[in-house]
Structure 1
Amino acid sequence: MNILTKLITALRGVGNEAGEAIIDSQGIRIMEQEIRDARESLDYAKENLTEVLAEQMAAKREVKRLDQDIAEHEDYATQALDKNDEALALEISGKIAELTNQHEAQSAMLENYTAQISSLKQTIAQTDRNIQAIERELAIVKTTDSVQKANAAIAAKFSGTDSALRSATESLERIKAKQQKRNDRMQAAFDLQQEEQGGDLQSKLQQAGIVTADASADSILAKLKAKRSS
């Protein structure tokens, strides 16, 4: 029984590891989908906020209308009292009481809308900031993932004795060796030609001061000055 329990636990562990491996391999796609879902929910919340704002505007208009009606009927009641018509003034006062009750109900509703709107705006703004922060983090994760994949591809492609990079490096070294050998041959041919034409001896005679170098503008000008002074 103890062995069976351990076996089940081991299988559960393997299942969890496999599930985590799948989630990790699809982590970026899952996160992108979750961000899209969050954006859709945020858009829906904004639509609801728009509806609440419309209800608030309607409540404001109703409160304003009731204020005007109450003021108007208070004026009517005053005029009735001025005419000593208390019965009419009492009837008008009843209407004022009805309007006042409506005004209180609408005012309470308006306060409720105002509180809800303030709360919704704060929640929406905070949610939007959270989503933007997650999007920035996701961009960094995606960039890091791309770089790591590129590095892994390079490491896999250019590692080992038969790698393309090693082959390319060896080819480059062979090309450089051939170029150096070609330069050596060209220099050797040039030196040989100089020796055949007595160039090497001429150079040694010039260095010893036995013969002069080829004519130059400075040497010719010096000779002209010497001839003129003599």
Structure 2
Amino acid sequence: MNVMRKIATALRGSVRESAEVVIDANAIRIFEQEIVDAEQGIARSKQQLAYVMAERVQLERANSALRDQILSREQQIAKALVINDEVLASELAEDILEKEQIVNEQLIAVQNLTTRERNLTRKIQLSGQQIKTFRRELGIAKATASAQSASRLAGSHTNSVDTNIIDLTSSLQRIKQQQQRIDDTSDAIAAIENEIGDGALDKKVESAGLGTRKTDIQSILERVKKV
């Protein structure tokens, strides 16, 4: 049982290591997607902020209308009192009381919405600034990754060029050796021909000044001198 637990632990460790390898290999892509997710979150927050602002504006507009109604009722009460209609005046006053309660409740709601609007605005602004920073960091990370990739590629090309130069040097040396071998062979063949070829003996006689033609010429010269 202990062995099985250790195997399970080892498997979890292997999965974790594999996951970390995948994360490291895709770190920039993951970072960029997280920025996109955060930007989408800000967009949703802006929509919520717009809703809060609209609610606040509607409540303020409703309160303004209620205040106008209260002012109108107050004027109606004054006229009712002039004609000594106490009942009507009381009814009007009761209506004013209800409207004032509504105004007070809505004022509290407006204050809460204003606070929420202020907090949301500050949060969106702060998040926006942070995302701009992350965007700049993403650009730097991409540029760095491109530079590192280019450096690795350049190093690979340099190694390839070095290998090619070595190969070229070796090939040139081989060509020179082959050409030298051909020249040496030709010289050797000429030397052999001079030593043991068909005309080798005649060449030696001629070289020694004992050639037949030369002897004949000399004889002719001697004969002419005697005449």
Into which bin does the TM-score normalised by the smaller protein fall? 0.5 to 0.7
Matches within 5 A, 1:1-230: 3-159=3-159, 163-165=160-162, 167=164
Structure 1 residue 12, shift from structure 2 partner: 2.7
Unaligned runs of 5+ in 2: 169-227
**Is the partner of 1:105 in helix, strand or coil?**
helix
The residue type equivalent to 1:157 in the other structure is H
Structure 1 residue 166, shift from structure 2 partner: 6.3
Match in the other structure for 2:179: none
Unaligned runs of 5+ in 1: 172-230
Matches of 2:89 and 2:162, distance apart in 1: 104
So what's the TM-score if we normalise by structure 2? 0.67
* Structure-2 change in CA distance of 1:7 and 1:133 (3 Å): same
Matches of 1:91 and 1:10, distance apart in 2: 82
- Return the structure number with greater relative CO, CA threshold 8 A, min gap 6: 2
Matches of 2:104 and 2:166, distance apart in 1: 88
So what's the TM-score if we normalise by structure 1? 0.66
Q: Deviations over 1:87-136 (max 9, x none)?
A: 22111101111111221122122112111111111111111112111111
Matches of 2:87 and 2:4, distance apart in 1: 94
Structure 1 residue 169, shift from structure 2 partner: 10
* Structure-2 change in CA distance of 1:169 and 1:151 (3 Å): farther
Aligned residues: 168
- Identity across the alignment (%): 33
Matches of 2:166 and 2:137, distance apart in 1: 39
The residue type equivalent to 1:20 in the other structure is E
Matches of 2:165 and 2:108, distance apart in 1: 81
Superposition RMSD on alpha carbons, in Å? 2.2
